[in-house]
Structure 1
Amino acid sequence: MELANKELKYRKLIITLSIVIPLAVAVLFGVKIEGYDFTFLPPIYATVNGLTAVLLIAALGAIKNGKVKLHENLMKTCIGLSASFLVMYVLYHMTSESTPYGGAGGVRYIYFFILISHILLSIVVIPLVLFSFVRALSEQFDKHRKLAKITYPIWLYVAITGVVIYIMISPYYVH
């Protein structure tokens, strides 16, 4: 199979996942499963976001230093961490009541700006990550680099703001 055709082969799957994942998360937010206590998950998935951010930075350093295999392994790890974050996040919200932000004044506006931009960009980053990944796997490195220059800062922002959101809302969690 021609390398460029590999991307075409995965295009429909990536587009489908990019639509289905956010819709599934939205639908699952409305599902409440009683009898399970997953209130321990927020600090874990915030840590996963933090680790993702650190590894994204390390992956950029690796590729800039010509360590292609290390870069590839770090990026695969970041994808795995992001997927595990998503599972834990959905599991928490399906079994726990949402925590309202309790801050006031200007900090409240900052929190909601960060939260809304985080949510919107977390949706946008799904196809960007998947297309970047497929382009690297199909050895379309020029296309991969071009898209990664857009994907990387968005993914890093989503990972870092995930931690910031947790830190800002953590005083309001009911334990």
Structure 2
Amino acid sequence: MGYIHVYTGNGKGKTTAAFGLALRAACADKKVFIGQFIKGMDYSELRVPEFIKNIEIEQFGRNCFIFNKPTQEDIDAAKKGLKRIEEVLKNKKYDLVILDEVNVAIYYKLFSVEDVLEVLNKRDENVEIILTGRYAPKKFIEIADLVTEMKEIKHYYKKGVKARKGIEF
């Protein structure tokens, strides 16, 4: 039986935790698909498939618009990504599917909670799912089998430290 995990909260580490589980699954000969919503920039983790063949990653964002209003192109990219997730869940090729930053995509109204639930309901019952991002919708928390909230206590960003390659991106 596959379970649904939610990694949320305002602290650092949601995507990192998801990638940690992806690594563990891949090392156990499981196939992993990671779909990154919002993100369209060159993050270091995009190189993972060069090193671990049973992890696939696709980005469904154009750029990081978080400080601006999403454009129609951002919405279209996210919806196209959700359609891709639906295909991935239907093909029964993967043991673990990660919807990275899906909660943020919903928060910015790129698609709805109901849209995601409809896609998740089409999954094979053995597929493990991880939903990441701040602002996890209440409905995701209700349906999830595991919920972890990352809480920021202290962050060097507040001291002016910029995102560092290999650590934050």
User: What is the TM-score normalised by the length of structure 2?
Assistant: 0.26
Higher helix share: 1
TM-score norm. by structure 1 comes to 0.25
Larger of the two Rg values belongs to structure: 1
The structure richer in strand per residue is: 2
